[in-house]
Amino acid sequence: MIFVKKFGNNHVLNGITVNIPKGSICGLVGPNGAGKTTLLGVITSLLKTDSGKININTRKVNALIEKPALFYELNSTQNITQQLILLGLEEKHNPNEFLEYVGLEKTNNKKVKDFSLGMKQKLALAMMLVGNPDLIILDEPMNGLDPQGMIDLRDLILKLNKEQGVTFLISSHLLHELEKIATDYIFLNHGEIISKMTSNEFSNANKGHIHWKSMIQIHS
């Protein structure tokens, strides 16, 4: 089923289907205004379509759209604890196991409001790991990070992908950053998907065009 998303008379998205290979790091690429954030908003049900619908063939999806949703007056352990309580997992997990995985186990001497942006991104990913997601969606996660912050975030994404088997859908207009981690690409422009390819195909500049419908699927 093809879906459409409009703001007023402006068609922001026109007929979308996305198939994300299980275990991949899929880059959603396009210039500012291409519709990337709107597409992710529709996928995560933050926005409603004007026609059609989205089906995601996995139950465990976490997303970071625009900025981390954190408790800024609490410390990192307290943030993870709140997430565990929300999911009814506080008796099964120690918050430190998530913080250690992302390298934030020694940050309880400060509130999250005093974290650097890179630390906030790491904490957001740690909170996403609660509940063992199959798919994590990130919207422009490199924006505002300094060079070391970008390196740390790339390494963490690769670690989660390889060790935990997490599938990623990552939007960015920084193609040179996605090239360092992506296994697959979706190219979006003017609200339409104009191409999809693997990293090898992209490296070989073999850009084909594919017809897409409106279902987002993780398949083996």
Neighbouring residues of 164: CB distance < 8 A, sequence distance ≥ 6: 129, 132
Q: Which CATH architecture has domain 4-60+133-219?
A: 3-Layer(aba) Sandwich (3.40)
Three-state secondary-structure class, residue 184: strand
Question: Which backbone phi and psi does 136 adopt, to 5 degrees?
Answer: -120, 130
Distance (Å) of CA 45 to CA 39, 61, 92, 155, 217 = 10, 11, 29, 29, 15
Whole-number Å distance between alpha carbons of 179 and 167: 16
Q: What is the pTM of this model?
A: 0.82
Task: Quote the percentage of the chain above a pLDDT of 70.
Answer: 82
pLDDT tens per residue across span 26-74: 999 988 877 788 888 878 877 776 666 666 666 688 888 877 789 999 9
Q: Where are the domains of the chain?
A: 4-60+133-219, 72-131
Distance (Å) of CA 126 to CA 6, 22, 96, 197, 210 = 34, 21, 10, 30, 35
More confident residue, 50 or 134: 134
